[in-house]
Amino acid sequence: MSEVLPLLIDRVDTPIGEMLIVADRQGNLRAVDWADHETRMRRLLRLHYGENGFRLEPARNPNGLTYAISSYFAGGLTAIDFLPVQTGGTPFQREVWCALRKIPCGTTVSYGKLAEQVGRPAAVRAVGLANGSNPVGVVVPCHRVIGANGLLTGYGGGIERKSWLLEHEAARQR
């Protein structure tokens, strides 16, 4: 029988809704999502760790992660820059997620530009799918990716949240 991974879950109120924060006991973020998308988050956890491969345990501010994310929403944008992240996913997905963390706060890139940055300029659709499968939104800033035409495109938390996050970051950079 395989080992069950204990994961700690906390909830935090943000200006754009309640956020769920999932971490392991070593202090790594495993998932971040909006409470109104908890079903999706649990489905992704099952996909990455197996149907019975993890156990969620309520926790308060696991390893300081909740506090750091709250600081980001309060205007301390760099509070999340170096939070440790440990995710499942394919090697390609993890490569895209790593590239997302290199997008400077207050800026955006297109899916095409992101595909170029990971050395796969023709893989724009695959990059888009990897971006959409990001289990650690906000911290791994998938909201900073926009359409080639400069318009906001899909975001798992909703376009309104994506718009708010980009405005929040841009306003703090001025």
Q: Among all residues, which ones are annotated catalytic?
A: 142
Orientation of helix 91-100 relative to helix 124-132, angle to 10°:
80
Provide DSSP, 87-143: --S-HHHHHHHHHHTTSPTT--EEHHHHHHHTT-TT-HHHHHHHHHT-SBTTTS-GG
Residue 113, both tokens: 């530009």
* Residue 72: HSE in the Cβ half-sphere, 13 Å Cα cutoff: 28
Alpha-helical segments (H) within 26-81: 38-49, 65-73
